[in-house]
């Protein structure tokens, strides 16, 4: 939607007011936009730090992978990460490792003494199923009812396999693995009956809204013409999902995202889901194996990351703008690929970890980098010289305090209207104190008592000039 456009998206009746408790409530998708005028939707790419935060080190630590999870441990005052490492030519050839940090930027690799590699146990490898890759990791926290399963690990081993740990360093594989087989009994890859079965890229998260685990994965689908798949003609890597309430019992994943026929030989390397308020955000890894990293160079493939969104965790929308893009400058460490790994919020900033490939999909170095973004700053609705406006559908606010995430060079005001579109007394444009400056939580103040808004059907109308509006929050006190 470009500046100057008018767009009516939806206008439910008063009985369809959407309850809004604590957020954040983001404008990444159009769910909270009933009408918009003069605003442009902008996807914001995070600012990359110039050097990787996890680099190749010892001979066995050649390729730290973007299969990783980052956890902020408040009790220990540490950032902690579990990640995959490739050890080409060594044993084990694929390992799981651990690192920790005071600030999420400078990481140290503690000597755990648990796994022998290249004749020594002096390394940071965890005792987990080796020779496998991908990582779906959940830390249930110190108060979890079953301490032996506080740490959960999903990985690929001829399908989805799972393991459990009490300390995060010693994992026991579930004896019934794989919990999702890669293909039906007796079937062979890329033969009839194989289609849409789980592939070897596995991510996931805990869904607090539905109280279940959400798996995002790569699945294979046939019927695509053009350049052959890496194993057989006509197959493409697509994206699927599945859910479980116990991390052990899983249905077969269902297909949710397929390549766009207008985008050449497009494929996907899975997606990692997470939640922000009532919004599911997915980070989709796009692959173009038919393109070179630099003009005239070998065709080794390039990749980047896009956003996906869902309001129910089932139906997903792909937003085809690069969110984490590869570095176009030849010779840079993420010149070929920039694939999302994980995201953690630190104060007013998103720390976004991603895997960078220097030369191509199956060649060259792989390292992990860090990019920084404003908190919940994935997408904004922007106004320029002319005033832009946005109206929400009818909502029921769960608290009296409204805080707006916005960067405003001129001013932003919010008015509150009833089901008929009339401004409530004390909440019209000129009864709102102008919001100026850049903050992820501008307080909105009116002359009216905001306690009167709680629980009644209202619409919020935002009006701004020279600004970026990302979303808002509702606070109960």
Q: Residue 395 is part of a domain; what is its CATH number?
A: 2.60.120
- Residue 113's CATH number: 2.115.10.20
Last residue of a domain, one of 374, 405, 438: 374
Three-class secondary structure assignment of the chain: CCCCCEEECCCCCHHHCEEECCCCEECCCCCCCCEEECCEEEECCCEECCCCCECCCCCCCCEEEEEEEEEEECCCCEEEEEEEEECCCCCCCEEEEEEEECCCCCEECCCCCCCCECCECCCCECECCCCCEEEEEEECCCCCCCHHHCEEEEEECCEEEEEEECCCCECEECCCCCCEECCCCCCCCCCCCCCCCEEEEEEEEEECCCCEEEEEEEEEECCCCCCCCCCCCCCEEEEEEEEECCCCCCCCCEEEECCCHHHCCEEEEEEEEEEECCEEEEEEEEEECCCCCCCCCCCCCEEEEEEEEECCCCCCEEEEEEEECCCCCCCCCCCCEEEEEEEEEECCEEEEEEEEECCCCCCCCEEEEEEEEECCCCEEEEECCCCEEEECCCEEECCCEEEEEEEEEEEEEEEEECCCCCECCCCCHHHECCEEEEEEEEECCECCCHHHHCCCEEEEEEEEEEEEEEEEEEECC
For the question of whether the overall pTM of this predicted structure is more than 0.85, the answer is yes
- Domain around 445: 6-42+380-475
255, pLDDT greater than 90:
yes
pLDDT score at 56: 83
Mean pLDDT of the region 452-459: 95
Q: How many domains does the chain have?
A: 2
Q: Are residues 175 and 38 in the same domain?
A: no
Q: At 2, is the pLDDT very low, low, confident or very high (cuts 50, 70, 90)?
A: very low
287, pLDDT greater than 50:
yes
Instruction: Identify the weakest region by mean pLDDT among 61-70, 132-141, 214-223, 270-279.
Output: 61-70
> Is 72:406 a contact under the CB 8 Å cutoff?
no
Mean pLDDT of the region 347-352: 97
3, pLDDT greater than 60:
no
Q: Looking at the domain assignment, is residue 338 inside a domain?
A: yes
Q: Looking at the domain assignment, is residue 318 inside a domain?
A: yes
Q: Are residues 208 and 108 in the same domain?
A: yes
Q: Looking at the domain assignment, is residue 1 inside a domain?
A: no
Q: Are residues 442 and 297 in the same domain?
A: no
Mean pLDDT across the chain: 91
Q: What percent of the chain has pLDDT over 90?
A: 77
- Three-point CA angle 204, 473, 416, nearest 5°: 140
The first and second tokens of residue 283, run together, are 């980070």
* Dist. CA 167–CA 418, nearest whole Å: 53
Dmax (CA) of the chain? 76
* Dist. CA 413–CA 457, nearest whole Å: 20
- Between 290 and 447, where is the model more confident? 447
Residue 24: asked if its preceding bond is cis (omega within 30°), the reply is yes
Q: Are residues 158 and 185 in the same domain?
A: yes
* Dist. CA 436–CA 384, nearest whole Å: 15
> Each residue of 317-343: pLDDT tens digit?
999 999 999 999 999 999 999 999 999
Mean pLDDT of the region 227-246: 84
Q: Are residues 282 and 210 in the same domain?
A: yes
Instruction: Identify the weakest region by mean pLDDT among 87-96, 159-168, 424-433.
Output: 87-96
Count CB atoms within 10 A of the CB of residue 252: 13
Q: Are residues 111 and 137 in the same domain?
A: yes
7, pLDDT greater than 50:
no
Q: Are residues 55 and 22 in the same domain?
A: no
Q: Are residues 346 and 330 in the same domain?
A: yes
CA 339 to chain centre: 11
Mean pLDDT of the region 122-129: 93
Q: At 224, is the pLDDT very low, low, confident or very high (cuts 50, 70, 90)?
A: confident
Q: Are residues 34 and 83 in the same domain?
A: no
Q: Are residues 143 and 116 in the same domain?
A: yes
* Dist. CA 467–CA 438, nearest whole Å: 9
Last residue of a domain, one of 325, 347, 374: 374
Q: Are residues 303 and 450 in the same domain?
A: no
Last residue of a domain, one of 331, 357, 374: 374
Q: Looking at the domain assignment, is residue 125 inside a domain?
A: yes
232, pLDDT greater than 90:
no
Which residues make beta-bridge pairs with 404?
A: 442, 472
Q: Are residues 336 and 412 in the same domain?
A: no
pLDDT score at 5: 43
């Amino acid at each position: 939607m470009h500046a100057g456009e008018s767009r009516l998206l939806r206008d439910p009746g008063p009985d369809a007011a959407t309850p809004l408790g604590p957020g954040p409530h983001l404008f990444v998708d159009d769910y909270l936009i009933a009408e918009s005028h003069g605003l442009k939707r902008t996807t914001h790419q995070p600012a990359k730090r110039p050097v990787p935060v996890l680099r190749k080190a010892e001979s066995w630590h050649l390729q730290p992978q973007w299969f990783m999870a980052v956890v902020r441990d408040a009790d220990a005052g540490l950032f902690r990460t579990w990640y995959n490492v490739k050890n080409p030519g060594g044993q084990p050839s694929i390992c799981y490792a651990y690192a920790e940090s005071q600030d999420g930027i400078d990481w140290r690799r503690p000597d755990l003494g648990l796994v022998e590699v290249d004749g020594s146990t002096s390394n940071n490898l965890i005792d987990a199923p080796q020779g496998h890759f991908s990582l779906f990791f959940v830390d249930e926290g110190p108060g979890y009812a079953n301490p032996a399963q506080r740490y959960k690990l999903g990985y690929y081993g001829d399908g989805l396999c799972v393991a459990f740990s009490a300390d995060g360093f010693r994992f026991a594989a579930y004896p019934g693995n794989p919990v999702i087989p890669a293909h039906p009994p007796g079937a062979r890859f890329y033969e009839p009956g194989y289609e849409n079965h789980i592939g070897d890229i596995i991510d996931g998260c805990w869904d607090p809204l539905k109280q279940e685990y959400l798996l995002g994965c790569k699945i294979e689908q046939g019927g695509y013409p053009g350049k052959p798949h890496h194993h057989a003609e006509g197959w493409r890597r697509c994206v699927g999902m599945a859910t479980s309430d116990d991390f052990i019992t899983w249905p077969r994943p269902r297909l949710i995202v397929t390549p766009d026929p207008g985008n050449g030989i497009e494929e996907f390397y899975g997606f990692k889901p997470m939640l922000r308020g009532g919004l599911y955000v997915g980070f989709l890894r796009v692959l173009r194996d038919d393109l070179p990293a630099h003009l005239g160079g070998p065709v080794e493939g390039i990749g980047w990351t896009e956003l996906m969104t869902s309001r129910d965790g089932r139906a997903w929308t792909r937003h085809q703008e690069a969110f984490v893009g590869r570095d176009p400058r030849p010779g840079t460490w993420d010149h070929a690929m920039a694939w999302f790994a994980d995201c953690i919020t630190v104060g007013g900033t998103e720390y976004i970890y991603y895997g960078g490939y220097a030369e191509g999909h199956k060649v060259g170095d792989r390292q992990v980098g860090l990019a920084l973004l404003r908190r919940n700053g994935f997408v904004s609705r922007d106004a320029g010289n002319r005033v832009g406006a946005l109206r929400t559908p009818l909502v029921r606010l769960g608290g009296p305090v409204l805080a707006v995430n916005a960067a405003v060079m001129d001013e932003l005001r919010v008015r509150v209207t009833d089901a008929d579109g009339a401004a409530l007394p004390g909440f019209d444009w000129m009864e709102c104190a102008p919001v100026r400056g850049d903050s992820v939580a501008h307080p909105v103040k009116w002359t009216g008592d905001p306690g009167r808004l709680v629980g009644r059907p209202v619409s919020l109308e935002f009006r701004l000039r020279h600004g970026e509006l990302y979303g808002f929050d509702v606070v109960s006190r």
